[in-house]
């Protein structure tokens, strides 16, 4: 398992070295605190790495390893910093913001679609969202290596930074009045926010959005997978941009 580091010493050394991107550290609720565990928590805080106390059942898949109640989940990529992304030149670009996507297969499919559609970056939160892992890498068919993945502590702050840099924000919501193809995506940098299938985009992000759109349903059966929904919207933006260039 190349995407997992097992044991207190190994996790500590990974944090000290700082040469591997750690998504999250899981600590069993059943182990007692000691100097090594305190050191891990201290280093995690210094490096901005999330650690979470979980039930011992979470460690069952790793029973054959000497994990000592501590594992670190490693990302196969290096995440990009939002400030570094915004410092680059962007003209008629797009980014996708994911709010609460929990399934690794969905994230992998979304990344693959974004690369095919020429999206400039994908923004994910460090909490309450699946991180880039081995399943995401496989599902994306290697697309994770062809697009910046930007991890932020606060999506609200990230959206505000985008708006301050003259990006327009488009959020999806099933109860929106406007359809996704009513927005004119030409000649602007825009961020498309996609929410979890059940919870949707959070109210705090909807309030910051310049446009709120929906995909119209011809039957009363609103159950589009989030990756399918994103494909419909993002390729409408591609269509508009191609048609816009042809008309010039």
Please determine, for residue 234, whether its predicted confidence score (pLDDT) is greater than 90. Answer: yes
Tell me if 4-74 shares its fold with 82-247.
Answer: no
Q: Where are the domains of the chain?
A: 4-74, 82-247
d(CA 210, CA 52): 35
The answer, yes or no, to whether residue 222 has pLDDT greater than 70, is no
Residues 70 and 7: beta-carbon distance below 8 Å? yes
Contact call for residues 70 and 27 (beta carbons, < 8 A): yes
State pLDDT tens for residues 26-67: 999 888 888 999 999 999 998 888 898 989 888 888 888 888
pLDDT higher than threshold 90 for residue 236:
yes
pTM (predicted TM-score): 0.87
Mean pLDDT along residues 158-170: 97
DSSP state of 100: S
Write down the pLDDT at residue 65. Answer: 86
- Contact of 113 with 226, CB cutoff 8 Å: no
Alpha-carbon dihedral 203, 179, 152, 228, rounded to 10 degrees: 120
List all residues 6 or more positions away from 156 whose beta carbon is below 8 Å from its beta carbon.
204, 205, 208
Q: What is the pLDDT of residue 244?
A: 72
- 248 pLDDT band, cuts 50/70/90, is low
C-alpha–C-alpha distance, residues 27 and 20, integer Å? 19
The string of pLDDT tens digits covering residues 81-93 is 999 999 999 988 9
Please tell me the CATH code under which domain 4-74 is placed: 3.30.1330.30
CB of 16 closer than 8 Å to CB of 9:
no
Mean pLDDT of the chain: 90
What are the pLDDT digits (tens) for 94-141? 999 999 899 999 999 999 999 999 999 999 998 888 898 888 999 999
pLDDT value at residue 1: 59
10: tokens are: 């190994």
Mean pLDDT of 209-234: 88
Domain 82-247 CATH assignment equals 1.10.10.10: no
């Amino acid at each position: 398992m190349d995407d997992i580091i097992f044991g207190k010493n190994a996790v500590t050394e990974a944090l000290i070295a700082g040469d591997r991107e750690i998504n999250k550290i899981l600590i069993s609720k059943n182990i007692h605190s000691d100097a090594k565990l305190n050191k891990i928590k201290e280093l995690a805080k210094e490096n901005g790495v999330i650690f979470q106390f979980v039930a011992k059942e979470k460690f069952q898949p790793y029973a054959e390893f000497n994990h000592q109640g501590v594992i670190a989940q490693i990302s196969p990529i290096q995440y990009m910093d939002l400030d570094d992304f915004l410092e680059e030149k962007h003209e008629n670009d797009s980014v996708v913001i994911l709010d609460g996507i929990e399934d690794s297969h969905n994230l992998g499919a979304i990344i693959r679609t974004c690369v095919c559609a020429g999206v400039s970056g994908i923004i994910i939160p460090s909490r309450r969202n699946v991180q880039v892992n081995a399943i995401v890498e496989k599902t994306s068919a290697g697309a994770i290596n062809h697009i910046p993945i930007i991890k932020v502590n606060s999506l609200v702050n990230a959206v505000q930074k985008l708006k301050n840099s003259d990006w327009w924000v488009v959020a999806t919501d099933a109860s929106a009045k406007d359809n996704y193809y009513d927005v004119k995506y030409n000649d602007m940098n825009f961020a498309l926010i996609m929410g979890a299938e059940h919870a949707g985009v959070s109210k705090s992000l909807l309030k910051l959005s310049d446009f709120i759109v929906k995909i119209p349903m011809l039957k009363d059966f609103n159950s589009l997978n989030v990756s399918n929904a994103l494909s419909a919207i993002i390729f409408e933006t591609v269509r508009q941009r191609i048609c816009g260039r042809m008309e010039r």
